[in-house]
Structure 1
């Protein structure tokens, strides 16, 4: 009887205006907003109560302003992430557009790193008369090339000079010795060792203390790096690459007949920016670390190594194989810029570490426009950024993504990492190599698929986005992944349509742990969510995790601390808008609208199903509301209608 009385009062109460944000105020009559308001009233709260301060600890030098803002207003992460995901999709084949999205929120920190003036994101490459004279003097050998081909080479070469000049400015405050320390030790603290599982507790403890001391020593060096100074030259390079693509398309439209030499090479030239290679329409093999590769077509083999200069590779067609002969190659920016664009064909990319759209103190962009492609990498791959930008954009085809760690839309400290897949039935797998030895004997860390990560408690994290726009997709991680984060970052996985399956073991599917934010947003399709625990809309330790499914007949399965669960002053929210759904949990005591009472004022857990005929094995029941044995937890299953009170 008590349930029915309170339920009636709940739905008759007038909505309170929170003034929480402009976006949510304007949409206050939406189903989501109404349901949230009702659920919060059920636990005697308003949206104003869903907030975190940014001063629990001293603000480290790498805290990003946007992350601070979103921590104060965690309900905004859905709007912000969807807007970011959509804009990345619109710019999916535009190097300048992708670069701008990556830089926009990572150059502005909570501690000012530049003059504070509005950052200008408008840089366009224009070939000046002095540039033509420079090319004529320094690249005499390209005079014999057809006009449009010569123009493309000129654009890219001059753009590379601009980018490397900007990187010089960004690192200007560092001595050569300090720069070497960053190059040597940051990869060291990022990479894992498979042999760690065989080390004793004492060895692991000693290793951890050494790495902590090393990391602290790198902070003052990383502070000297001025990422904002790298943008102008990189924007010019991206603009130059885009213009080069246009010139090459004009060249191909003339149906040229060319004469190539050995290995189907039209031009081979050494320059201050590395080699320049132009391949014909046949099959070519490329080796080493050329600064510029332009391949006109054919099934090609790339066996590439890292370089000490920025690089651009443009392949215009064919079923190609790209193989990294070491780390830091194939669309990799390691203290520089690496751009790889493949226009068509069913391609295979075999990377190692820091590869396939990876930027560490650099910019790495990989764009594949057509074909059923396969991507293989180890650590910090497939759209991973730290102190820079790493983006992988695949436009069409049924693609396979395989990574071990920090992959598939990963944002490290002061970084932006994104994987954007525009269409096709795709599969994403991350994990299976580095064991989670501190917690389990039989599980592996992933930290991938829209994941952000900071080094607790001294370096805040960045932005990690995975945006998939269509297709029936499969996502698999093990420990940490799928729209989740750790320590002052935002990890978001956005799937816009398709019948998808999400599989993970723990810390996944819209989960945030330790003062951070995580979101899994699925906009349409009949989806399956499978996990063990600390997942499916879970926030732990002053963090907010949200799982939001907007349409479809969905199935949710978990063991514990999931499906709208808050822990240790965290906020966990699960919202399902529509469809006939099923929810299954093993432990009823801390799931489906649970906020545990730990640490003074407890936690918040909200479970909301807004419509449909739903089935429950756990706390819930169709067309009712419930509370759990917790401090601030509630679940509502109702038939919400827009505009109703």
Structure 2
């Protein structure tokens, strides 16, 4: 340290009433190093924050809200694009196309859009009950509107369901039980200036829990916001620990237990059926499954009982249009989908799917000689009795018709679809079915293959063995629950799964599961596949093999509104790819949207006033050296009040993406990428990634061991922008960090409020780490912009 820096440092120490470098370290106008040579930070307790946190009593609940969607109309004022139904603006007679030129006689004409910020701040400051005078230009005439403002923030927020493992008490008590050493966050908070900055940011992020959503005008709690999202926004420094707990819920449970955990994360309560183990032959096991379809159908009917027939049909035909790029939906129809969704009780779906899972386990236990299996027609409960059309091919002859061909042992009609039993030879399934049990052979499925719909509310497909091909030229196939439950389980073989939209473990107002237990498999689709949930659960579990996952968008563990999507791969060197088809509007010549690979997605009011909080997207890879390829929005990221998680447990992995990726939280969302082993490579060709929080978002990238390489461009590697929190933490190994502007522990002040983001690049061990700047070992740098950079040997 040269003489000038020493003098400056002493002045700062004096001004902040601190006399030693430790523990009362400085917060400088320029980056000042603080020695951490003799300080031990506990990796297990690294982010725990003892005192500074969100305080509900400090929330200003009287901020005003008018209820319009607006744009700057150059040289004229503020254009009203849309008014919220039942909002103060609508009640005051404001209409789409109005141009607001003044508020309380103050002009709102601006060329740069700052008038939008000024108008928003004025409305919020006036508060609920105020009646501003708005001068409005409509069809060439000047009129005045006087809306009576209501509160922007909701006073009631839904309380979390009983989930002890995720309760706040867990986090408050864990520190005393874990590891040796001090909490890093408690250490940095000893700096008073930094503590004040963090407190203000954490308080501001927590306030988002109470913000109105989309068209919502009442004072009730948000019907779509998940309580785990609210918890994370109010406890942002617990983000990584929260993610690990969620990960462990799915690593340590049976599939039935995972379904229960998913329901709890969606704030859905249901009575899990007690598992009863049955011993018996294959005929009896399949008969029990058929018998239990009846109560499952009854449970599914209750899910939608509050909807009229017309409402159900509208929801059934319109819901998928929100996310399918090739389809369009009007804002009014989107609003109606969200309104009708509040009449749907998802609990029956989860109860039904657990019942089916128990029956599938019974069938899989059969260990007799499948080549000698002889099955008779099944006894149908009265509800399932259909045309009584039964076909039993004689001997081992290849039976076939337009529906099924090859080694078909039995086809039986029911009122909700066919029951089909295939033998140990090759079987060809062309038409949809409610139940398929295939005993072996290299089979071909061009049908629904364990996917439900309006006519088949429960669909189960079990394939015992063979290198099978699932190839459907339509959507809603291969373990998809569409307004019902769908399960596809393939026990053994190198399989190919080819679909379009909503395939391979997808839930749309339903629960869809694809379970592949063994083999080197290939999964391909257009969009909305490989573990996606929208008002429900979609899950894909691949237990073994070197697998390939290929898709264009919204795939590989994506959770939409009131949904959870999970892709779990337990073993093998796997390849994940999404993108290459749908350009991103920010740079359409060079970039594509992925929205995949552990991605949470909400409906942000961006082009219309209608919006809704997002869900939880999870990608878990247990073992293997894996490759992840994504583009915009991918790899453990969240968008608009959602949560995205990607956890890779073992192997030397490579992550390639472009923007808003690798642990990025965007617009009050949470993104987590955690890698627990191997020499890994992270690369983002644009940036705003690798532990980045934007617009009250929270983004964490945490690598616990290995010699890793991080390559980014701008605003990466621990960046907090527009009131966001971004953290990149690496706990072991000799690492290389390459990035460009405003990166590596960088914080930005908000453009609209007096709040600063929180950006941290924290390397907690390594003898020869490389940063963009020369960073002395065993030092903590408080950047002038409010960022943090730690280089601990």
Q: How does the TM-score come out when normalised to structure 1?
A: 0.86
Match of 2:772 in 1: 618
1:56 to 200, 208, 211: 211
Match of 2:242 in 1: 80
The alignment status of 1:18 with 2:51, answered yes or no, reads yes
Q: Secondary structure at the match of 1:602?
A: coil
CA deviations 1:450-491 (Å, max 9, x no partner) are 000010142111110000001000001100010001111110
Q: Return the alpha-carbon distance in structure 2 between the equivalents of residues 334 and 622 of structure 1.
A: 57
Written as runs of structure 1 = structure 2, the 5 A alignment for 1:122-271 is: 122-124=272-274, 148-193=281-326, 211-246=330-365, 249-252=366-369, 259-261=395-397, 262=399, 263-271=406-414
On the 8 A contact 2:545/2:572 being kept in 1, the answer is: yes
1:325 to 473, 479, 486: 473
Match of 1:197 in 2: none
Match of 2:651 in 1: 498
On the 8 A contact 1:358/1:390 being kept in 2, the answer is: yes
CA distance 1:127–1:619, change in 2 (3 Å):
closer
Match of 2:187 in 1: 38
1:152, CA displacement in angstroms? 2.3
1:292 to 435, 438, 442: 435
Structure 1 segments unaligned to the other structure (5+ residues) = 109-118, 129-145, 195-206, 640-645
Q: Secondary structure at the match of 2:367?
A: helix
Match of 1:136 in 2: none
Written as runs of structure 1 = structure 2, the 5 A alignment for 1:449-488 is: 449-457=597-605, 458-488=611-641
1:7, CA displacement in angstroms? 5.3
Q: Return the alpha-carbon distance in structure 2 between the equivalents of residues 288 and 40 of structure 1.
A: 64
Structure with the largest fraction of helix: 1
Match of 1:357 in 2: 505
The alignment status of 1:602 with 2:756, answered yes or no, reads yes
CA distance 1:273–1:31, change in 2 (3 Å):
farther
- Higher CA-based Rg: 2
1:155, CA displacement in angstroms? 2.4
Q: Return the alpha-carbon distance in structure 2 between the equivalents of residues 335 and 502 of structure 1.
A: 35
Q: Return the alpha-carbon distance in structure 2 between the equivalents of residues 534 and 319 of structure 1.
A: 42
1:619, CA displacement in angstroms? 3.8
1:31, CA displacement in angstroms? 7.4
CA deviations 1:507-559 (Å, max 9, x no partner) are 00000100110100001110000002110000000110000000000000000
Q: Secondary structure at the match of 1:364?
A: strand
Q: Return the alpha-carbon distance in structure 1 between the equivalents of residues 433 and 585 of structure 2.
A: 40
Written as runs of structure 1 = structure 2, the 5 A alignment for 1:530-541 is: 530-531=683-684, 532-541=686-695
Q: Return the alpha-carbon distance in structure 1 between the equivalents of residues 248 and 599 of structure 2.
A: 18
1:216, CA displacement in angstroms? 1.6
CA deviations 1:292-327 (Å, max 9, x no partner) are 111111111111146421210101111110112311
On the 8 A contact 1:563/1:573 being kept in 2, the answer is: yes
Q: Return the alpha-carbon distance in structure 1 between the equivalents of residues 290 and 237 of structure 2.
A: 45
Q: Secondary structure at the match of 2:440?
A: coil
Q: Return the alpha-carbon distance in structure 1 between the equivalents of residues 180 and 521 of structure 2.
A: 39
The alignment status of 1:593 with 2:752, answered yes or no, reads no
Written as runs of structure 1 = structure 2, the 5 A alignment for 1:421-440 is: 421-440=569-588
On the 8 A contact 2:507/2:533 being kept in 1, the answer is: yes
Match of 1:90 in 2: 252
1:638, CA displacement in angstroms? 1.0
Q: Return the alpha-carbon distance in structure 2 between the equivalents of residues 608 and 540 of structure 1.
A: 19
Match of 2:60 in 1: none
Match of 1:67 in 2: 229
2:447 to 287, 304, 320: 304
CA distance 1:633–1:539, change in 2 (3 Å):
same
On the 8 A contact 1:477/1:503 being kept in 2, the answer is: yes
1:158, CA displacement in angstroms? 2.5
1:404, CA displacement in angstroms? 1.1
Q: Return the alpha-carbon distance in structure 2 between the equivalents of residues 30 and 147 of structure 1.
A: 50
1:620, CA displacement in angstroms? 5.6
CA deviations 1:273-308 (Å, max 9, x no partner) are 311111111111111111111111111111114642
| Greater alpha carbon shift after TM alignment, 82-91 vs 272-281 | 82-91
CA distance 1:264–1:14, change in 2 (3 Å):
closer
Q: Secondary structure at the match of 2:787?
A: strand
In angstroms, what is the RMSD of aligned CA positions? 2.6
Written as runs of structure 1 = structure 2, the 5 A alignment for 1:566-577 is: 566-577=720-731
1:622, CA displacement in angstroms? 4.6
On the 8 A contact 1:39/1:606 being kept in 2, the answer is: no
On the 8 A contact 2:371/2:424 being kept in 1, the answer is: no
Q: How does the TM-score come out when normalised to structure 2?
A: 0.71
CA deviations 1:130-152 (Å, max 9, x no partner) are xxxxxxxxxxxxxxxx9612122
In the comparison of the two structures, how many residue pairs are matched? Answer: 591
Match of 2:129 in 1: none
CA distance 1:69–1:17, change in 2 (3 Å):
closer
CA distance 1:459–1:192, change in 2 (3 Å):
same
The alignment status of 1:418 with 2:551, answered yes or no, reads no
The alignment status of 1:276 with 2:419, answered yes or no, reads yes
Match of 1:546 in 2: 700
The alignment status of 1:341 with 2:489, answered yes or no, reads yes
CA distance 1:301–1:361, change in 2 (3 Å):
same
Q: Return the alpha-carbon distance in structure 1 between the equivalents of residues 518 and 40 of structure 2.
A: 52
1:69, CA displacement in angstroms? 1.1
On the 8 A contact 2:477/2:504 being kept in 1, the answer is: yes
Q: Return the alpha-carbon distance in structure 2 between the equivalents of residues 13 and 124 of structure 1.
A: 51
